[in-house]
Structure 1
Amino acid sequence: MKFEPEELAAGASPLIAVSSVDGNHGNHGNHGAVTTTAIKARAGEWRPLFRHECAFGPDAFGHVMENLIQNPNINSSWLFRADILVQNTTTQATPGPPGSAPAPLPAPLPAPSFAGFELTRTIVRRLVPRNTLRDKPLDQTCLIYASASQGQTETQAQSLVVYLPHVSAASEMPFYHPVVRGIAFLHQWDAAQGRGSVSLSYLYFAEGDHERGDSEVTKLTRTALHLLAVVYKHGKGRLAGYEKRVHHDQLISQARVQNTYARLKKKYARELIQSWAESTDPEKHVFEDLCIAAFLLELWDDMHGGGLGPLRFPGFVDIGCGNGLLVHILNREGFQGWGFDARARKSWAAYNAKVKTRDGSEQDTLRELILLPPHVNRDGLAGSALDRVHDGRFPKGTFIISNHADELTPWTPILAALSDCPFLAIPCCSHNLAGERYRAPAPKDKTKADSAYSSLVVWVAGIAADCGWDVEQEMLRIPSTRNTALLGRRRRAAAPPVVGLQAVVDKYGGTAGYLESVMKLMMTSGHEH
């Protein structure tokens, strides 16, 4: 069924009615925004805007609303996430995870009592914007109601979810939230008919706000239409058996990475964008590498037991480092490492630095080198080209980064096993071990997509597994469709010895033609992703 909602007239009868406001939720002085006037206002009239028939029942509606409460970024690209600060049932209050919110936690706003409904759950979430320099976070009470037992029949049921922002005046509302006191989603269901409806109502700041004809009301109406459309779309998907295939934040929590990203963005983004030397889109590359840097910083903190500092860090190398921006950011954060690529980039003039090595000598952080692993025949390579060769051996424990490294991507887990180094590979364009363009075979696991990119990821993960790595996977929150990260930080007890890696290389096609491919790469201009 196409989304074609019924628009309810300004004078339409309310679909929900407040009988009283329950203020017994503890000390409301914590949030400081609720006044007696504001509490009374929440007992005002909720104005319905749109309603749409639906074929999904209360369970699907509840699942959809739970997901939208947890992930407000689905509704607004201005938002990063929601931090769940407090969760109440009728018997217990449970704060969010440690570190997710500063103490003291805000108390829920007083819950309106709606005729025919019982309050079953209360959640306080903090909406975290992408740009904290422009918008402030907003605390919001989310109230979940079910049909009151005395008003419920065997075949008919109602569910209600209400959002109440923690503000006392319209002027306090951030840009990303509708300028209303509350938003209500009502689901009405007739089990005998197998159909129902879902609707959206607003509680305006002032009586008569909905009758104004200005642009703000137009914006509020457009926002209401969007919010209801999202609920309807996700409800239909739930009914059709949709299961989410992409799962983010499997290795590190969303809040940790995004908080670090926000810090890095505030510290570096403007400067890096304004000084961009390449011909590519500066914002895409800067924001993407800041995201990857944030993930790496949090990952390294986990790997090294917390409290990670430059003196304890074993170093990193970025193979196929491209413009060198990621190396530059990580170095500026105090973590020593370097990168190399077959050809220098314009940016290197600004990003390259001199660092002292363990033997006291100085070296560049960005170097023009080609990778020739020990498994590749070097016959025919001579002269100045030998000075630009790196054999892919690194000090034990060095963290290997392979970010859209193309020809070097399938080599990453092999090099990591060769030197006993952890690695992070973010595949992009598909190449085989000989450095040639290659379409990896479709995954045998039919639950995996058979796209070229999915096939590449599964193929590289297979190489890593055969090298003895316990392969972990994360879908990075970066502005790129090539956002799958493969992580190897632990090797299995039965991992093959270094001498057995040649068998892995042979199994995945060998290296015939690698030297020729690399020599061609040295003669062509560098490319960016």
Structure 2
Amino acid sequence: MENRKKAPFEPEEYPQGSPPLLHERCGKANWIPMCRHTCTFETQDFDKIMLNLVENPNLNSKWLFRADVLHDDCIQPPASADISDTKDHPHTQEFKGFSRQRTIVRRLIPRNTLRDAPLDQTCSFYHSSHGKEDMDSVEGAGPMRSLVVYIPHTSSAAEMPFYHPKVQGISQLYEWDPATKTGTISIHFLLFNAEATTEEVDQVKLGRIAYHLLQTIHKHGHSTAAGYVKRVNHDVIVPRERFQDKYSELKNKYARSLVQSWLETTDPTKHVFEDLGIAAFLIELWQDMYRGVDFPGFVDIGCGNGLLVHILRLEGYDGWGFDARERKSWSQYNSTFSGSPSGKSLQKLLLLPSIIPVEATSGDTKTIDPEDIHDGLFPRGTFIISNHADELTPWTPILAAISQCPFIMIPCCSHNLTGERWRAPPPRDKSKSKSMFASLVDWVTQIAGDCGWEVETEMLRIPSTRNTGLVGRRNIRDIQEIDMRVVLQKYGGVQGYYSNVAKLVKSSPRGH
């Protein structure tokens, strides 16, 4: 691959009144050129990134979740939904000097469905055609041109949702000269009222939008040409559409009241939206796991403020959580639950796994009331949640294997099996980051593998840098074949565990 230095982003605005560069075959639509920029990425790179931007409009707007593809004339049958679900058939135009190659109808899904409605939009892809009629009628047609046009399915600017510019169409034009290996990308708008005066159009706002659209193409185009490879893949276990729809539903139902009633000293928005996201993922995961059968219940070990337990129970899922320290929030989140030792959904308990050898407790168990200790044994099939459980994170796959329970662990701070802070060995995959967090994730994944678990990894869509979800749904080994004491010794042993976790009772809760 030829290395070309990426130029800084310094777009050039077209002067007001500049003649249009795009001409439709029929009608007198006035496509207004807004801004342009030189580029050094080639045609195939432009086509690739524009398809990605069509499929992922959230890259251009923070107000959008995604796009659902309703129709794609390159796919038979149409993807996701039938074209009859749209208000109209695809809205397409034919341009002089271009032939249409592909048409996609997408539905833009906003993050806040209480404020904005979804919007259907036709996205058409064109390549330059070099017929004599076209070449004669389009002055200065470059040797290679590509065009991507967005047409919203609305008849007026008043119908346009907040997240979409109040224009009738958006065009992204790419021109490339193979001889000099240089090109130009430009943005063009079609106004609803072609006769509108400058005063009637918010030129500043439209200019800002055009600048942003051009900047996104410029950035992604050069990254693609440089061989950028996406490092993180989301939506491996639960499809994005299902997760986002459930998350939006939960957010609309609970977010405002949960934030307003927050009792902890920590940031309410971070915790509320993070736990709503985890709850949405779990609910959709459980829909797949327990389709047609009764939900077996859940337990959240190291449940912290208890919010996740509270949300899941509000959604009708039976379960409970425990932590070494009670939180202020428990006073409003706690409820009756017959499946827990205390009959409450949130309980103060210290985990002392039954598998820990007596000698490893150093006789310290006498200092804690036996009723305040949990042995780590759960009814078979109970779904174990370990969300930023810190000291309990490496224990999660071990407890799950012993009780034959599926689990999810979302690691955060690094602790070994004794409960001490420590740094795990670097990841086995040398291409991965050697950070403390990456090392922890790899280490607990190894423990899970030695316990027989087939570990699935999901990068959760939550507002946290610690968003790696490790899911164990299938155990491929008979628990009788696994010597858990050997596993404990392999990963550093458990000597001093009890005295370390007993200190949690006297310490202040962490802020995560």
Q: Structure 2 matches for 1:3-402, cutoff 5 A?
A: 3-20=9-26, 43-89=28-74, 94-97=77-80, 104-150=85-131, 156-207=143-194, 209=196, 211-212=198-199, 216-305=202-291, 312-357=294-339, 363-376=343-356, 377-378=360-361, 379-402=363-386
Q: Which residue of 2 aligns with 1:521?
A: 504
Contact 1:418 1:498 in 2 (8 A): no
Query: 3-state DSSP class of the match of 2:456?
Result: strand
**Counterpart amino acid of residue 139 in structure 1:** D
The structural deviation recorded for 1:275 is: 1.0
TM-score (norm 1): 0.90
Match of 1:441 among 416, 425, 439: 425
- Structure 2 CA distance for partners of 1:461 and 1:495, relative to 1, 3 Å: farther
The structural deviation recorded for 1:387 is: 2.1
1:417 pairs with 2:423: no
The structural deviation recorded for 1:55 is: 0.6
**Counterpart amino acid of residue 96 in structure 1:** A
Contact 1:467 1:495 in 2 (8 A): no
Query: 3-state DSSP class of the match of 1:51?
Result: strand
2-side partners of 1:450 and 1:187: how far apart? 40
**Counterpart amino acid of residue 512 in structure 1:** Q
- Structure 2 CA distance for partners of 1:210 and 1:444, relative to 1, 3 Å: farther
**Counterpart amino acid of residue 322 in structure 1:** G
**Counterpart amino acid of residue 507 in structure 2:** T
1-side partners of 2:431 and 2:82: how far apart? 37
The count of residues paired between Structure 1 and Structure 2 equals: 495
Contact 2:83 2:89 in 1 (8 A): no
**Counterpart amino acid of residue 387 in structure 1:** E
Superposed CA RMSD in Å reads 2.0
The structural deviation recorded for 1:11 is: 1.7
Pick which of 427-436 and 227-236 moved more: 427-436
Contact 1:354 1:362 in 2 (8 A): no
The structural deviation recorded for 1:207 is: 2.4
1-side partners of 2:83 and 2:304: how far apart? 40
Query: 3-state DSSP class of the match of 2:454?
Result: strand
2-side partners of 1:208 and 1:505: how far apart? 77
**Counterpart amino acid of residue 502 in structure 1:** R
The structural deviation recorded for 1:386 is: 2.5
Contact 2:279 2:312 in 1 (8 A): yes
The structural deviation recorded for 1:208 is: 5.1
Deviation per residue, 1:178-215 (Å, 9 max, x gap):
1100100111111221121111100111225473386x
The structural deviation recorded for 1:101 is: 7.5
1-side partners of 2:505 and 2:99: how far apart? 70
- Structure 2 CA distance for partners of 1:59 and 1:499, relative to 1, 3 Å: closer
**Counterpart amino acid of residue 4 in structure 1:** E
The structural deviation recorded for 1:149 is: 4.9
1-side partners of 2:165 and 2:376: how far apart? 55
**Counterpart amino acid of residue 192 in structure 1:** A
The structural deviation recorded for 1:364 is: 0.8
Pick which of 443-452 and 454-463 moved more: 443-452
Deviation per residue, 1:268-322 (Å, 9 max, x gap):
11211111111111111111111111111110110112x56xxx11010000100
Query: 3-state DSSP class of the match of 1:265?
Result: helix
The structural deviation recorded for 1:499 is: 5.0
The structural deviation recorded for 1:483 is: 0.6
Percent identity between the two aligned chains: 53
Where does the alignment leave 5 or more consecutive residues of structure 2 unmatched? 1-6, 136-141
Query: 3-state DSSP class of the match of 1:354?
Result: coil
Query: 3-state DSSP class of the match of 1:284?
Result: helix
1-side partners of 2:9 and 2:198: how far apart? 25
TM-score (norm 2): 0.93
Query: 3-state DSSP class of the match of 1:144?
Result: strand
The structural deviation recorded for 1:512 is: 2.0
1:507 pairs with 2:493: no
2-side partners of 1:57 and 1:288: how far apart? 40
- Structure 2 CA distance for partners of 1:203 and 1:148, relative to 1, 3 Å: same
2-side partners of 1:362 and 1:387: how far apart? 9
**Counterpart amino acid of residue 503 in structure 1:** V
**Counterpart amino acid of residue 107 in structure 2:** R
1-side partners of 2:385 and 2:95: how far apart? 55
Runs (4+) of structure 1 moved beyond 6 Å? none
**Counterpart amino acid of residue 143 in structure 2:** Q
Contact 2:87 2:153 in 1 (8 A): no
Where does the alignment leave 5 or more consecutive residues of structure 1 unmatched? 21-39
Deviation per residue, 1:31-64 (Å, 9 max, x gap):
xxxxxxxxx6xx5111111111111011111111
- Structure 2 CA distance for partners of 1:68 and 1:234, relative to 1, 3 Å: same
The structural deviation recorded for 1:81 is: 0.8
**Counterpart amino acid of residue 272 in structure 1:** L
1-side partners of 2:57 and 2:65: how far apart? 8
Q: Which residue of 2 aligns with 1:31?
A: none
Contact 1:184 1:202 in 2 (8 A): yes
2-side partners of 1:182 and 1:295: how far apart? 36
Q: Which residue of 1 aligns with 2:445?
A: 461
Pick which of 293-302 and 361-370 moved more: 361-370
**Counterpart amino acid of residue 528 in structure 1:** G
2-side partners of 1:343 and 1:63: how far apart? 52
The structural deviation recorded for 1:252 is: 1.1
Q: Which residue of 1 aligns with 2:411?
A: 427
Q: Which residue of 1 aligns with 2:4?
A: none
Contact 2:255 2:273 in 1 (8 A): yes
